[in-house]
Structure formats: structure tokens, C-alpha cells
Amino acid sequence: MADRCAVIGVGQTHLRAKREDVSIPGLVREAALRALADAELTFADIDAVVIGKAPDMFEGVMMPELSLAAALGAVSKPMMRVHTAGSVGGSTALVAAHLIASGIHRRVLTVAYEKQSDSDAMWALSVPQPFAAPLLAGAGGYFAPHIRAYMRRSGAPDHIGRMVAVKDRRNALKNPYAHLHLEDIDMKMVEESIMLWDPLRYLEACPSSDGAAAMVLAAEDAVSGAYPPAWVHGMAMRSEPTMFAGRDQVNPQAGRDCAADVYRQAGITDPRADLDMAEVYVPFSWYEPMWLENLGFCPEGEGWKLTESGATALDGDIPWNASGGVLSSNPIGASGMLRFLEAAMQVRGQAGEHQVEGARRALGHAYGGGSQFFAMWVVGSDKP
């Protein structure tokens, strides 16, 4: 039986297009210090640090974790790096939680970041390869055909994607850390934005952000801080190859398996009813209905109906991405951890204006690569 693990501190930087006032070490330290302050601890209280970011190629700094040890108080302490592409923020939190659950450490600091203004992710995701035609065009170019396939398969009407784009940006207006604060966002504004990767428009895609996220995780006997802890009720990771014959690229098996595992651990049989909210990695609007189905919030083919009904809005019965989500802020490596962190903030009652009233159990989700890496946790206000 694993030891109990609690989230006792959360910290994030303001998420912006360019943080020219800080270097990468300054960025991660800012988030880490906020997480430590929330837990009423200092670097001296931390046993180990687990850090994650998206591929090194983005900023062009190889193994950046080595030079970040000093900024994170990790000199002469165990420190490790996690790599799972865009899902890395989630996987990093899970590796940190494993160090607590296994009884190895009592307090672990976990950090994830991206400084997109130092990088060119669009270029890094579009590098020509000898065995493929030079058609790659960033993450949007990869995911747009799968979105088209979802639309064809489910018969979803065009406006569903626009609804998600508006909903998440309106939620972001209630989150002071969010990158995009689009006061005038509405369906018309999304519809009139430029078509980047038909069927995906500019405002149906995530922005490029600088930012970092951090959490302090603790064993049961090491809980501290003014806010009550968020207890980890379940955690799971799954992956699958990007390419194999018969792969369901709209509704990947690894995502379904990961959800089933985390729900089993948390005792969840009906996620829509049993969870109070979810923070799910939705970098392109249509991934809300697609992941609603993949994560079992509704039967296959009906995700778009749930979105259309308003169920996933902040005042719906199962709010998704109350923080504004990835559609409002995308510091790639940190985006997954922000989902996990926001879920924890909700069950600790510290989400401020975007708090889902009475949230006691929440899902944090991240996916990455060509929908081949998945990481999830369920956190709750009750001790499991």
C-alpha cells in the first residue's frame, strides 16, 4: 500500500507572451518560491526536486535541469528531469508524487516551465525529415486532420469548437495568471479570426506563453501551510506508439486506459457525476469534446452535445478548465502541471474568482506528442 501524498503548496508565474524581465532560472525560481511560500516552507525543507519541460530543442538549451539546480535550491540534493513532450508537466508531478507515495522522500518540490519567447516551437515541430514530405506545420498542422476526422465521425456541428474557444477565454478573465485576457471574446470574433489550419481558426488555438508552475508535495506527517492539503486519490500514466495500423487517432486507447486506471484508484465510476470539475489539456478547441469522450464523461460520439449543453461551463454541472485552460495560456512544458495544480487549487478552495463552489474532487489531465503520452491525477479535499 502506497503512502498518502498531499499537495501542500502551489505557485505559478504570470503567464505572458514574453517575460523579458527574467531568464529561465529566474522564471522557475519565481514559481518555486510561490509554492514554498504557500506551504510555509523554504528550500531547506525540500528533500528532492523533480523538473520537467518540453523538448530541449525548443529553447536550444541541452539538459537545462543541470544549470537550474542552483535556482531551485537543489544543489547537493536529488534532482531529476522528466521527458514526455507536451504531457510532461503532468508526468513530472506524478514522478514527484511517486517519490512521496513510495516513502523515499517526505517533501518534494516539482517544477515545470517553458519560455516560448526564447524558442521557436513552431520551427522545432516542423523540421523536415528525409523519409517524410516537408509538410509538417507545427502542432496545429498535426492535430487539425484528426479534428476533421472527429467532426466527420461524430457529426458535430461547426460551432462547437467556437463555443469552447469562447468559454475558456471567458474563464481566463477570472484568472489573473492567465495569458489571454480577451474582454470582448464572442462567437463572432472567433469565427472572423484567420483560418490557420483549416478547420482550425486562430482563436481556436492556444497562444505561445512564457511561464512556470511549481508544487510542493508532502507525506502525511509533513503537511504544512495555511490552506488544507489536496490529497492525491489516484495517478496514472500511459503511452502508445504514434503510428501503428488500426490506431484510433481520434480516441486513443492509451488515454482511455489511463482514465480507467486513475478512476479505479479514486473509486470513480461515473466521472461526470463523481468529479466536481476537471482541468484537461485542450490546446485546440475541438479537443474538449474529443477528450470528454476519451475520458468517459459521456458515450462516444456525444462529447459535442455535452459541450453544447453548457455542462462544461463554469456554471455547468461539470466545469472543464475553470482557469481558462491551455487555450488561454500555453507555456508548453508547464501546461500539464498547471492542469494538475489548478485541480489541486480547486479542492483546496484557493482558486479565487474561478473557484468552482464546493469542489471536493477534481481531475488533472495532460497529453503530449502525437496524442501518445497521457498523465492524470485525481485530487480531493478528503483524505483517501
Partner 1 sequence: MTMLDTPIHLEYTFTPGIAQSRFLRGLAEGRFVGQRCPVCGKVYIPSRGSCPVDGVPTGEDVALPDTGIVTTYCVVNVPFAGQAIEIPYIAAQVLLDGANISFMGLIQEIPATDVRMGMRVQAVWVEPDELGPTLASVKYFKPTGGPDAPYESFEEYL
Find residue 231's DSSP bridge partners. 6, 380
Q: Is 135 an interacting residue with respect to partner 1 (CB under 8 A)? A: yes
Between 63 and 127, name the residue whose CB sits nearer to partner 1. 127
Backbone angles phi, psi at 323, to 5 degrees: -75, -15
Q: Is 25 an interacting residue with respect to partner 1 (CB under 8 A)? A: no
| Angle between helix 287-294 and 253-266 (nearest 10) | 60
Q: How far is residue 87's CA from residue 369's CA, in Å, rounded to a whole number?
A: 8
Backbone angles phi, psi at 334, to 5 degrees: -85, -15
Q: Is 123 an interacting residue with respect to partner 1 (CB under 8 A)? A: yes
Task: Please state the closest distance from residue 20 (CB atom) to partner 1, in A.
Answer: 5
Judge whether 332 and 86 are in contact, CB under 8 Å.
yes
Cβ-proximal residues to 341 (8 Å cutoff; 6+ apart), any chain:
7, 10, 12, 93, 213, 215, 364
- Choosing from 61, 80, 104, 137, the residue that interacts with partner 1 (CB under 8 A) is 137
- Kindly give the residue spans of alpha helices, DSSP state H, lying in 58-158: 64-68, 88-101, 121-124, 138-154
Q: How far apart are the two ends of the chain, measured CA to CA in Å?
A: 12
Between 312 and 372, name the residue whose CB sits nearer to partner 1. 372
Find residue 16's DSSP bridge partners. 210
* DSSP code at position 320: B
Judge whether 28 and 111 are in contact, CB under 8 Å.
yes
Task: Please state the closest distance from residue 374 (CB atom) to partner 1, in A.
Answer: 17
Q: Please state, as a whole number, how many other Cβ atoms lie within 10 Å of the Cβ of residue 316.
A: 16
Sheet with 230-239, strands from edge to edge, namely 79-82, 48-53, 107-115, 210-219, 5-12, 230-239, 373-380, 361-368, 277-279
- Choosing from 128, 158, 226, 315, the residue that interacts with partner 1 (CB under 8 A) is 128
Q: Is 184 an interacting residue with respect to partner 1 (CB under 8 A)? A: no
Which residues ranging from 324 to 363 are in contact with partner 1 (CB under 8 A)? none
**Binding piece for partner 1, criterion CB under 8 A, among 65-73, 133-141, 229-237, 320-328:** 133-141
Q: Is 62 an interacting residue with respect to partner 1 (CB under 8 A)? A: no
- Choosing from 113, 177, 197, 291, the residue that interacts with partner 1 (CB under 8 A) is 197
- Choosing from 144, 185, 206, 379, the residue that interacts with partner 1 (CB under 8 A) is 144
Q: Is 21 an interacting residue with respect to partner 1 (CB under 8 A)? A: yes
Q: How many residues bind partner 1 (CB under 8 A)?
A: 46
Which residues ranging from 199 to 258 are in contact with partner 1 (CB under 8 A)? 199-200, 241, 243-246, 248-250
Q: Is 193 an interacting residue with respect to partner 1 (CB under 8 A)? A: no
Q: Is 155 an interacting residue with respect to partner 1 (CB under 8 A)? A: no
Q: Please state, as a whole number, how many other Cβ atoms lie within 10 Å of the Cβ of residue 18.
A: 12
- Choosing from 198, 221, 315, 382, the residue that interacts with partner 1 (CB under 8 A) is 198
Q: Is 130 an interacting residue with respect to partner 1 (CB under 8 A)? A: yes
Q: How far is residue 38's CA from residue 51's CA, in Å, rounded to a whole number?
A: 19
Task: Please state the closest distance from residue 97 (CB atom) to partner 1, in A.
Answer: 30
**Binding piece for partner 1, criterion CB under 8 A, among 3-11, 38-46, 116-124, 223-231:** 116-124
Task: Please state the closest distance from residue 169 (CB atom) to partner 1, in A.
Answer: 20
Cβ-proximal residues to 53 (8 Å cutoff; 6+ apart), any chain:
64, 81, 88, 112, 113, 114, 332, 333, 334
Q: Is 80 an interacting residue with respect to partner 1 (CB under 8 A)? A: no
Find residue 5's DSSP bridge partners. 219
| Angle between helix 159-172 and 287-294 (nearest 10) | 90
Binding mask 291-310 for partner 1 (x = CB under 8 A): --------------------
Between 126 and 350, name the residue whose CB sits nearer to partner 1. 126
Between 2 and 137, name the residue whose CB sits nearer to partner 1. 137
Task: Please state the closest distance from residue 197 (CB atom) to partner 1, in A.
Answer: 5
- Choosing from 148, 181, 305, 360, the residue that interacts with partner 1 (CB under 8 A) is 148
Q: Which residues bind partner 1 (CB under 8 A)?
A: 20-23, 60, 117-118, 120, 122-123, 126-128, 130-138, 140-141, 144-146, 148-149, 152-153, 194-200, 241, 243-246, 248-250
